[in-house]
Structure 1
Amino acid sequence: MVKKFACVALALGVLTTLVACVSTSTSDSANGVDTVLVEGFGAEYQDLFEEQIAKPFTEETGIQVKYSAGGSGAEQYAAIRAANGDPGFDLAVMTSLELYQGSRDEMLTPVTPQQVPNMARLPQKLLNNTYGVGAIQDIQQVVLMYNRTAFPQPPTSWGVQWDPEYRSGALIFNPANILGVYALLNAAELDGGGIDDIDPGFARTVELAKYALATPTRSAEAVPFMAKETATAFPYLDGRAAIYSKTNNYDFTVPREGTYASLGSLGIPVGATHKDSAYKLIDYWLSEEVQQRWALAYNVGPAITGLQFSPDFAAKHITTPEALEEIKIADAATVVKNRTEWSRQWAEAVR
């Protein structure tokens, strides 16, 4: 009899454990609380998201937003793929490269104007880079960050990084960071190469690595060099560049050769629990008022056109149809196909 009761108790204990393991998101839904779980970038991005997006969205809709800071866009997508489309969050902040992968792998949910009416506001050039499985919420561009003391006037070419007077303060970003990919493309184009002929970019990387100050992986790793003013000129994204130009002796510019865009993107995993809430959050983010507010807070270009910005802001960021038309967007299929090999070649070049 004791043995029988023990077995019953064990079974009840297992049942209790299983019930306790049900996610908090399911519990929220059962309690009638609409929720959306967002996985995105950390540091200042999380702070801005909470203040500029999550808090006012909840006030307007009643939907609770729970944000977790993850890694890069590539790392967010790796989590989605590893979980076979059910990573435990409803919306991922990534880049358009991950949207391409999600479309190819069928790991992201379709996003169209039917579910997200404000998608209709996106210019066709941006819509083409959503691959039907996400939205683009902002546009960054790769800029040349420079030390104001070393350059009383803004440098006019990406090639200044190889100038003997400045190369000892150069930073060579790892292609594991998308910034490193675009830096390689810009370097290749200086000598007639490009996305389909990257070798000139690696040749320049080998040369610069002999003198460079550091080879960072994450954008934040550049900050100490700016604080000490040892960096001279290096590629950066305009969002962070604008932040640190206000607190350090640095400014940023787009050289005459032009540059590449990095498209901030939102994707919903196919196994997401709160898809309707995720759609609503995307639609909110793409509204005119929020687009303007987010662009000014994060120092980036908006995903929709027709908004008004000051001349100083517009001069530094992609805010007009003309600027969007001019900026280059790297072919996602080519980047995704070659990125692992480019990272291997980069490691050989800088060792």
Structure 2
Amino acid sequence: MKKFICVALVLGLSASLAACTSTSPDAGAGGGDVLVVEGFGAEYQTLFEKQIAKPFTKKTGIQVKYRASGSGAEMYAAVRASNGEPGFDLAVMTYFELNQGFRDHLLAPVTTKQVPNMAHVPQKLRDQSYGVGAIQDVQQVALMYNRKTFSKPPTSWDVMWNPKYRKGTLVFNPNNILGVYALLNLADTGGGGITSMGPGFDRTEDIAKNALATPTTSAEAVPFMAKETATAFPYFDGRAAIYAKTNNYDFTVPREGTYAHLGALGIPAGASHKDNAYKLIDYWLSNEVQERWARAYNVGPAVTGLSFPADFAAKHITTPEKLKKVKIADAATVNKHRTEWQQQWQEAVR
């Protein structure tokens, strides 16, 4: 009898632990009190849980189960492989995946009917959600520079070709989205553009001859900042703001302008808890949460009319005027040519 009781207790404890740690979309099914979110790991997960998930649960009672995954492309690959039923209800991705989901008919519609706060998102950003998601934050590609090397902020992307600095620049691989934007900037400044990328590869070949390194991820730039061997290179403003506080580097936007990178939220077409996903998107797009998230993640908000400290506003896209000036790459064109561009980039840096 004692043995039976012990086994029952163990089985009961195991079941309780499984219920507490489950990330299955069926967890909490029936009660409608759960939402499974697939997103980025590391510091993003920490920020999401503190700034979004916990206060959302406190407000709505909906339990958010977060699963750290890889890139937006990897998350969308799961959506596609499962024909819209990947086992999560909401994915943190980018507008490139929203475009692909729209084309594949594998993401659920997201409109002001389901998400009223979408009405506060500028049309320029709403156009990039393709009716199947929402943009929740706006980053930009900035020029990161060594404070010891530059007595004042450089004003042009061309500084990376200057003989004084080119041995310390970083040329990012377009396997990473930062590398795609860097390549587009090279094409633009070389007289080409997204439909005429030749100048971008020519400039890549030229700069790669003297570059310090050709990183595949933004994290690979960190050791060069720690050693202060990097001079000037493209970097997302969100990460740039973090390392500007811990390294002898700062960042600026050159006079030629730059590209925006749009964080996005998408709901798989076969998600089990769509209503809860809509509620979280609406919550994330509220003014209070937008301001809180922008300041925590060091990015621009997806809604306008918010108030930020002057030093923060100077570094990020926080106003309609700044949003109007920044370039947004056509997602369909990037999705179509990205593999081809990566192959051409590899040839250029040999």
**Do the structures match in fold with TM over 0.5?**
yes
1:335-346 equivalences in 2 (<5 Å): 335-346=334-345
Structure 1 CA distance for aligned equivalents of residues 70 and 171 of structure 2: 20
Structure 1 residue 160 displacement after superposition: 0.9
Structure 1 residue 78 displacement after superposition: 1.5
Q: Following TM superposition, where does structure 1 have runs of at least 4 consecutive aligned residues deviating by more than 2 angstroms?
A: 22-25
Is the alpha carbon distance of 1:130 and 1:73 closer, same or farther for their aligned partners in structure 2, counting shifts above 3 Å? same
Query: Partner residue of 2:10?
Result: none
1:72–1:177 CA contact under 8 A, matched in 2: no
Q: Does 1:122 align with 2:121?
A: yes
Structure 2 CA distance for aligned equivalents of residues 295 and 27 of structure 1: 31
Query: Partner residue of 1:146?
Result: 145
Structure 1 residue 226 displacement after superposition: 0.9
Query: Partner residue of 1:136?
Result: 135
Structure 1 residue 163 displacement after superposition: 1.4
Structure 1 residue 114 displacement after superposition: 0.6
1:143–1:253 CA contact under 8 A, matched in 2: yes
2:27–2:34 CA contact under 8 A, matched in 1: no
SS in 1 for 2:114: coil
Is the alpha carbon distance of 1:324 and 1:27 closer, same or farther for their aligned partners in structure 2, counting shifts above 3 Å? closer
Structure 2 CA distance for aligned equivalents of residues 27 and 69 of structure 1: 17
1:238-249 equivalences in 2 (<5 Å): 238-249=237-248
Query: Partner residue of 2:190?
Result: 191
Structure 2 CA distance for aligned equivalents of residues 230 and 170 of structure 1: 9
Amino acid at match of 2:225: M
Structure 1 CA distance for aligned equivalents of residues 237 and 88 of structure 2: 28
Q: Does 1:51 align with 2:58?
A: no
Query: Partner residue of 1:107?
Result: 106
Query: Partner residue of 1:26?
Result: 26
SS in 2 for 1:25: coil
- Listed one character per residue, the Cα deviations across residues 135-190 of structure 1 (whole Å, up to 9, x for unaligned) are 00000000000111111110111111111211111111111211111101111111
2:121–2:303 CA contact under 8 A, matched in 1: yes
2:23–2:67 CA contact under 8 A, matched in 1: no
Provide structure 2 residue ranges, at least 5 long, that are not aligned to the other structure. 1-18
Query: Partner residue of 1:322?
Result: 321
- Name which of structure 1's ranges 44-53 and 207-216 shifts more when overlaid on structure 2: 207-216
1:108–1:133 CA contact under 8 A, matched in 2: yes
Structure 2 CA distance for aligned equivalents of residues 186 and 146 of structure 1: 17
- Listed one character per residue, the Cα deviations across residues 292-338 of structure 1 (whole Å, up to 9, x for unaligned) are 00011011110000001111111111111111111111111111111
Structure 1 residue 23 displacement after superposition: 7.6
Is the alpha carbon distance of 1:268 and 1:315 closer, same or farther for their aligned partners in structure 2, counting shifts above 3 Å? same
Query: Partner residue of 1:8?
Result: none
Structure 1 CA distance for aligned equivalents of residues 85 and 27 of structure 2: 17
SS in 2 for 1:153: coil
Q: Does 1:169 align with 2:161?
A: no
- Listed one character per residue, the Cα deviations across residues 191-221 of structure 1 (whole Å, up to 9, x for unaligned) are 2111111110101111111121221122111
Is the alpha carbon distance of 1:283 and 1:128 closer, same or farther for their aligned partners in structure 2, counting shifts above 3 Å? same
Query: Partner residue of 1:331?
Result: 330
- Name which of structure 1's ranges 173-182 and 124-133 shifts more when overlaid on structure 2: 173-182
Provide structure 1 residue ranges, at least 5 long, that are not aligned to the other structure. 1-19
Amino acid at match of 2:81: A
Structure 2 CA distance for aligned equivalents of residues 346 and 229 of structure 1: 26
Structure 1 residue 33 displacement after superposition: 5.8
- Listed one character per residue, the Cα deviations across residues 56-80 of structure 1 (whole Å, up to 9, x for unaligned) are 1111111111111211222221221
Q: Does 1:236 align with 2:223?
A: no
Structure 1 CA distance for aligned equivalents of residues 27 and 292 of structure 2: 33
SS in 1 for 2:28: helix
Structure 1 residue 24 displacement after superposition: 3.4
1:33–1:64 CA contact under 8 A, matched in 2: no
2:294–2:300 CA contact under 8 A, matched in 1: yes
1:90–1:273 CA contact under 8 A, matched in 2: yes
1:95–1:264 CA contact under 8 A, matched in 2: yes
Amino acid at match of 1:29: A
Q: Does 1:74 align with 2:73?
A: yes
State the identity %: 73
Structure 1 CA distance for aligned equivalents of residues 308 and 108 of structure 2: 33
1:226–1:250 CA contact under 8 A, matched in 2: yes
2:156–2:256 CA contact under 8 A, matched in 1: yes
Query: Partner residue of 1:218?
Result: 217
2:23–2:36 CA contact under 8 A, matched in 1: no
Total equivalences in the alignment: 330
Query: Partner residue of 1:10?
Result: none
Is the alpha carbon distance of 1:71 and 1:23 closer, same or farther for their aligned partners in structure 2, counting shifts above 3 Å? closer
SS in 1 for 2:83: coil
- Listed one character per residue, the Cα deviations across residues 123-146 of structure 1 (whole Å, up to 9, x for unaligned) are 111111110000000000000001
